[in-house]
Structure 1
Amino acid sequence: MGRKTKMALTVGAAGVAAWAASKVVAKPQPRPRKEALEFEDPVVLSHRGGMSSTPEHTMAAFSNSAELGVHGFAVDIRLTKDEEIVLFHDETADRTTDFSGRISDYTIDELKKADAGYMFEDDNGHFPFRGKGEKIISLRELLTAYPHMLIAINLKDSPDTYEGSLMPSKLWRLLEEMESEERVIVMSAFDEQTDRFNLYAQNRVAIGAGNDEVKKAYASFSSKFGHLYNPRADLFCITEKMGPFPMNSENFINFLSNLNVAVYYTHINDKDTFEKLLISGAAGFITDKPALAMEVIQQNS
C-alpha cells in the first residue's frame, strides 16, 4: 500500500471518527413554537394582495384575496421621508403609480396623492384601476383593517441605507403598539435585518430566514453534518431552486420540519406545482394567484 493511499485512508478514518463523535455530542435545538405559524392546514398568503388580478399592495387587492378565504398576506415594506412604514415593493414609485422618484423622498401624505392603480394592466391591455382611488397604504392601516389575518412582512430597505438602519426598531414599535406580535412573520433577504429586529423582539415574533441562513441550512442538509445545524429562523420562505440547488425535495422539507421550521414556497402559480409541493409536505404558499391556491388545497384536503 502506497504512502498516498495510507494517508487518504487515515484522513478518511479521521473524518468518520469526527462525524461519529459529533453525532454523539451534538444536540440540535428545534425552534420554539410560534403562534403565528400554528396552522393545521397548508397556509395561503396572497403575494402583495394577489397581484395577478388587482394592483399590488392596495386595499382592492387585499379585499379581493380576503374574500377568497386566504390565511393572510405577504407584503413588502419601506420607510417614507417622515419615517412611516408603507407597503411598497420597489425602491422607486415609477413601476406601479403615476409618481416617480424614491419612496424615501416622499412623506406619507405626499404618497397618498399617488394613484396606486395607475400602472396595473389586465390581460386585455386595459388599465381598469386608473383613477379609481387606490392609494398607497401604510402597514398600520393593513394591520387595523385585517386584525385576524397572518401578515408576512418583508423588510426591503437594505441595512446599509438610512431607511434600513431605522426599520427594525420602527417596525418593532409599531407591532408592539398594535399588539400584533403573534400574528406576523418578519423576514428579509438580509439576515442582518432580522437579527437586528430580533434584538428588540426577543423571539416574541416569528422570524423568516434570509439568503445566508437558507444557504447554511441547505449546505448542512446536503452534507453528513446536518445534525450540527441549529436554525436561527422559524420559517423558510423559499423558491423551488436557489441557483443550481433544488429546495423542493421532501427530504429537505422534513429536515427543516424536524427542527420545527415551517417551509413556505413562493412564486408558485400553477396547479401541478402546488399539488407536488403539497405532497412533499410544504406548510404554505405565497402566491400571485390565491384563488388557484385555495382551490388546489381544498381539492387535496
Structure 2
Amino acid sequence: MGRKTKVALTVGVAGVAAWATSKFVAKPMPRESKKALDFNKPIILAHRGGLAEAPENTKAAFSKSAELGVHGFAIDIRLTQDEEIIVFHDEYVDRTTDFSGRIADYSLIELKKADAGYAFKNEQGEHPYRGKGEQILTLRELLENFPHLLIAINLKDSPDTYEGSLMPSKLWRLLEELGAEDRVVVTSQYDEQTDRFNLYAQNRIATGAGSDEVKKAYAAFTSKLGHLYSPRADLFRITKKLGVFPLGTKSFIHFLTQLNIPTYFENVNDKESFIKLLNLGAAGFITDCPTPAMEVVQESIDE
C-alpha cells in the first residue's frame, strides 16, 4: 500500500469518525410549538382569498372561502404612499383593478376608489364582479373581519426598498395592537425580512422559512448532516420542487416534522396533487382553488 493510499484512508476514517461523533453529540432541536400552527389535521389556506374563484384579495373572495370552511388565508401585503398596510400582491395595481401605477404612489383613500373586481373573469369569460363595489382591503380590515381564521402574511417588498424597510416594524405594531399574535404566521422569500420582523416580535409570532432557509434545510437533509441543522423558522411554505430538487417527498416532509415544522405546499390546485401530498404527510395547502381542496380534506377526514 502506497503512502498516498494510506493518507487517503486515514483522512476517510477521520471523516467517518467525525461524522459519527457529531451524530452522537449533536441533538436536533425541534422548534417550540406556536399556537397559530396548532392543527391536528391538514389545513387549507385560500391563496389571496381563492383567486381562481373570486377577485383576489377582495372581501368577496375571502367571504366565499370562509363559507366553504377554509382554515385561513395566505396573503401578501404592501405599503401605500401614506404607509397603510394593504392586502395586495403586485407592486402595480394594473393587473387586478381599473387603476394603473405603483401601489406606493397612491394613498389609501385613492386606492379605495379602485374597482378591485375589475379584472376577474369566470370560466365563461364574464366579469361578474366588475362595478360591484369590491375594494382593496387593509390588513386591519381583514384581521377584524375574520378573527377566527389563520392568516399567513407574506412580506412582498425587498428589505432594500423604502417600503420593505418600514414593513417589519409597522406590521408588528398592528398585530400587537389587534392582539393577533396567535392567529398569524409571517413569511417572506427574504429571510432578512422575517429576521427583522422577529427583532420586534421576539419569537411571539410564528414565522416561515425564506428561500435561503429552505435551501439550507434541504442541503442538510440530502448531505446526511440533518442532525446538525438548527431551524430558524416555524413553518415551511414550499412548492413541490425547488428547481430540479424534489421537496414534496415523504422523507423530506418527515425530516421537517421531526423538527416540529409543518409543511404547507403552494401552487396545489388539482385533486390528484392534494391527495398525493396528503398521503406523503403534508400539513397544509395554499391553493387558488379552495372548493376542490376542501372536498379532498373532508373526504380524507371521513375515511
Tell me which interval the TM-score lies in, with the shorter structure as reference length.
over 0.9
How far apart are the structure 2 equivalents of 1:225 and 1:51? 40
The answer for unaligned runs of 5 or more in structure 2 is none
Q: Deviations over 1:143-202 (max 9, x none)?
A: 000011100000001100000000000000000000000000000000000000000000
Q: Contact 1:19 / 1:224 at 8 angstroms: preserved in 2?
A: no
Spell out the pairing of 1:247-262 with structure 2 (5 A cutoff).
247-262=247-262
1:113 Cα deviation (Å)?
A: 0.5
Q: Contact 1:48 / 1:57 at 8 angstroms: preserved in 2?
A: yes
Q: Amino acid of the residue matched to residue 90 of structure 1?
A: D
**Equivalent residue number for residue 199 of structure 1:** 199
Residue aligned with 1:300, SS: helix
**Equivalent residue number for residue 114 of structure 1:** 114
Quick one: percent identity of the two aligned structures? 69
Q: Amino acid of the residue matched to residue 111 of structure 2?
A: L
**Equivalent residue number for residue 224 of structure 2:** 224
Q: Deviations over 1:259-298 (max 9, x none)?
A: 1111110100111111111111110000011111110011
How far apart are the structure 1 equivalents of 2:152 and 2:2? 59
Residue aligned with 1:254, SS: helix
Q: Deviations over 1:60-94 (max 9, x none)?
A: 00000000000010000000111100010000001
How far apart are the structure 2 equivalents of 1:279 and 1:19? 33
**Equivalent residue number for residue 130 of structure 2:** 130
1:5 Cα deviation (Å)?
A: 2.9
1:53 Cα deviation (Å)?
A: 1.1
How far apart are the structure 2 equivalents of 1:68 and 1:261? 26
Structure 1 runs of 4+ with >6 Å offset = none
Q: Amino acid of the residue matched to residue 214 of structure 1?
A: V
Q: Amino acid of the residue matched to residue 165 of structure 1?
A: S
> Superposition RMSD on alpha carbons, in Å?
0.8
1:119 Cα deviation (Å)?
A: 1.0
| TM-score (ref. length: structure 2) | 0.98
Count of residues paired in the alignment: 301
Q: Amino acid of the residue matched to residue 94 of structure 2?
A: D
Residue aligned with 2:209, SS: coil
How far apart are the structure 2 equivalents of 1:177 and 1:221? 39
Q: Deviations over 1:175-232 (max 9, x none)?
A: 0000000000000000000000000000000000000000000000001210000100
- Tell whether 2:59 aligns with 1:59: yes
Q: Contact 1:158 / 1:164 at 8 angstroms: preserved in 2?
A: yes
1:15 Cα deviation (Å)?
A: 1.2
Q: Contact 1:256 / 1:262 at 8 angstroms: preserved in 2?
A: yes
How far apart are the structure 2 equivalents of 1:258 and 1:294? 26
Q: Deviations over 1:28-66 (max 9, x none)?
A: 211100000101110100000000011100000000000
How far apart are the structure 1 equivalents of 2:56 and 2:9? 59
Q: Amino acid of the residue matched to residue 51 of structure 1?
A: L
Q: Contact 1:152 / 1:184 at 8 angstroms: preserved in 2?
A: yes
How far apart are the structure 1 equivalents of 2:2 and 2:68? 70
Which sits farther off after the overlay, 124-133 or 202-211? 124-133
| TM-score (ref. length: structure 1) | 0.98
- Tell whether 2:302 aligns with 1:293: no
**Equivalent residue number for residue 159 of structure 1:** 159
Q: 1:3 to 1:244 in 2, by over 3 A?
A: farther
**Equivalent residue number for residue 269 of structure 2:** 269
Residue aligned with 2:31, SS: coil
Q: Amino acid of the residue matched to residue 186 of structure 1?
A: V
Spell out the pairing of 1:237-248 with structure 2 (5 A cutoff).
237-248=237-248
**Equivalent residue number for residue 34 of structure 1:** 34
How far apart are the structure 1 equivalents of 2:6 and 2:275? 51
The answer for unaligned runs of 5 or more in structure 1 is none
